[in-house]
Amino acid sequence: MTEDNPGVLVFPPLLFSICVLAGLILHFTMGVHAAFPMWVRLGGVALGIASMAFAWWAQRVMRAAGTNIHPGQPTTAIVEQGPFAHTRNPLYLSLTLLFVGIGIALASPAFLALLLPFVAILRWGVIAREERYLDAKFGDTYRSYKARVRRWV
């Protein structure tokens, strides 16, 4: 890597936005709805809200640690506090849970069908590149963190 960043395939919020837009287009053009009871759909709303709160927490912890949030900028520290003590990727986990929450709230199989491509691109186009970058930049410090904390949960 010639630049001090992981060289992710796509900016994760952009990937999320593209997948949400595609999911909404599929949802409204196909018109297929799952028979989710209202309490399940409200659970999707709650999951979405909780995921946004989790992302906010992770961003605050990253800022407090003095490292960059944007994957196109250099990482200056391995953050191990807050949500990073439980998952190495709380922001990506948050995006994934928000995506699921929206799909459940819409009761949309078409929307939820895009979950797999979203997670696959996130996993191999973003997270794998970040992991290689962090390993090369921080070495044993990152490997020790990686051994203690799971990628997702």
**124: Cβ contacts below 8 Å, ≥ 6 apart:** 9
pLDDT at residue 76 tops 70: yes
pLDDT tens per residue, range 81-117: 999 999 999 999 999 999 999 999 999 999 999 999 9
Q: In the prediction, which pLDDT does 3 show?
A: 83
* Cα 5 from chain centre: 18
State both tokens at 35: 């028979």
Q: Which of 106, 98, 110 is nearest to 26 (CA)?
A: 110
| Phi and psi angles of residue 101, each rounded to the nearest 5 degrees, phi first | -60, -40
67 has a pLDDT exceeding 50: yes
Confidence band, pLDDT 50/70/90 cuts, at residue 1: very low
The residue-averaged pLDDT of 52-66 equals 98
Judge whether 127 and 146 are in contact, CB under 8 Å. Answer: no
Q: Tokens 């990628």 appear where?
A: 151
- pLDDT tens digit string along 19-55? 999 999 999 999 889 999 999 999 999 999 999 999 9
Main-chain phi, psi angles of 7, to 5 degrees = 65, 50
pLDDT at 2: 54
